[in-house]
Amino acid sequence: MADTSRRALRLLSLLMARRQWPLGELASRLGVSERTARRDIETLRGLDYPITTVRGPDGGYRLGSGHTLPPLLFDDDQALAVSVALQTAPSTVFGLAEDAARALDTLTQVMPARVRASMEALHLTRLQNYWEFPTPPVAPDALTAVGGAVRHRHVLTVQTLRADGTRALPGDGDFVPARRVEPHHLVVWAARWYLVAYDLAEEAWRIHRVDRLVPRPTTQPFTDRALPGGDVARFVMTSHDRGDVPTAWPCMGTARLDLPAHVVARWAPGGSVIQHLDADHCRLTLGAWSWAGVAGILSTFDTGITEVTPEELVGACHRLAERWSAATGPTA
């Protein structure tokens, strides 16, 4: 019985590793006859694993998708990866904390002792770091709607929320009509979910913050378009207009930087806003826990900085300049 169980687990591992297996190759890998391999396949089917038979000369067996969730098989590294993911995912998607905790509890109970020890060593305690740039979590239904539209290549109608998460109504001064977009990519960067889409009215590519969208799926299909530059990661990181709004901080300031907007966008903290001025200049709005913190972040861009506001930030820049001057000594 123990040999049969071990062999069934080995068979399941093989079926997970490749899309389709000929019966003879499965039997060879398991070191058994084809008849025994068939019996093991029936054993897994009895445990609700949806193993389908593919007919024809190139046929074999394939692990499909079922209507229920049967027991899963993870190796040690996969189990640790799932553990870490379950501990970190709730910070970016609203309402997952309880479900993720239950899933992690279930996973822990069925782990071998050696894997459980490694997982407990990686138990994460989330702390609000001084330099952590917070972001609001995404509603699961919005994420599902956007993700489904991207996967099925269906046009999406989106309404953008205000910075405080409320919806502007017709007649409001800041009301923006719903847009019809072709959703091409769903991207996670700096703990934020972004939708890269082609705006049908503007005939231009746009980036939207998913947590600021009210999406309404349609069944209208669209054809893939070529993204400018072809690299979605670079497109998101270097775009100064990502639908971001300034994150609320105790200290908020702005400055004009002698750098292009796409360069500042790549390195600015999450929750900052970059305004394109011309090919060589932009305006950066950002916040931190202290004015010295805002001034320190501005200095990391190593470029000319002007038009600094408010006065508190100007004062912090002067104080930092005096401290750095004292630290470096007189200039030769």
pLDDT by 10s per residue, the chain, length 332: 456 667 877 888 788 777 788 999 999 988 999 999 999 888 888 877 888 898 887 778 888 766 555 566 666 677 777 776 777 665 566 666 677 777 777 777 666 677 677 666 555 544 444 445 556 778 888 888 898 899 899 999 999 888 777 888 888 887 888 999 999 998 888 778 889 999 999 999 999 989 889 999 999 999 999 998 888 988 988 888 888 877 778 999 999 999 999 999 989 887 789 999 999 999 999 999 899 999 999 999 999 999 999 999 999 999 999 998 888 876 65
Alpha-carbon distance of 280 to 272, in angstroms, equals 19
Q: Which CATH class is domain 2-63?
A: mainly alpha
Assigned token pair, 252: 């908020």
**Can you give the three-state secondary structure of 240-265, one letter per residue?**
CCCCCCCCCCCEEEEEEECCCHHHHH
Residue with tokens 């980036």, as numbered in its chain: 207
Task: Give the C-alpha separation, 105 to 241, whole Å.
Answer: 41
CB 205 within 8 A of CB 228: yes
pLDDT of residue 128: 46
State the pLDDT at residue 3. 65
Q: Is 245 exposed, middle or buried (0-12, 13-18, 19+ CB in 10 A)?
A: middle
Q: Which residue has the tokens 């998460």?
A: 165
Pair of tokens at residue 313: 């930030």
251-328 and 2-63 share a CATH fold: no
Alpha-carbon span 295 to 287, nearest angstrom: 10
Phi, psi of 279, deg, nearest 5: -65, -25
Backbone angles phi, psi at 222, to 5 degrees: -140, 160
Give CA–CA dist 11/217, Å, rounded.
40
pTM given for the model: 0.64
User: What is residue 129's predicted lDDT score, i.e. its pLDDT?
Assistant: 45
pLDDT of residue 309: 97
CA dihedral 142, 145, 149, 154 (to 10 degrees): -110
* Residue extents of the structural domains in the chain: 2-63, 76-121, 140-230, 251-328
Residues whose CB is less than 8 angstroms from the CB of residue 241 and which lie 6 or more positions away in sequence, other chains included? 206, 207, 274, 276
Give dist(CA 272, CA 295) in Å, integer.
14
**Which structure tokens are listed for 1?**
């019985």
Residue 103 buriedness (CB in 10 A; 0-12 / 13-18 / 19+) = middle
- Selected from 3.30.930.10, 2.30.42.10, 3.40.190.170, 3.30.70.250, the CATH number assigned to the domain covering 251-328 reads 3.30.70.250
148's CB contacts (< 8 A; 6+ apart) are: 154, 217
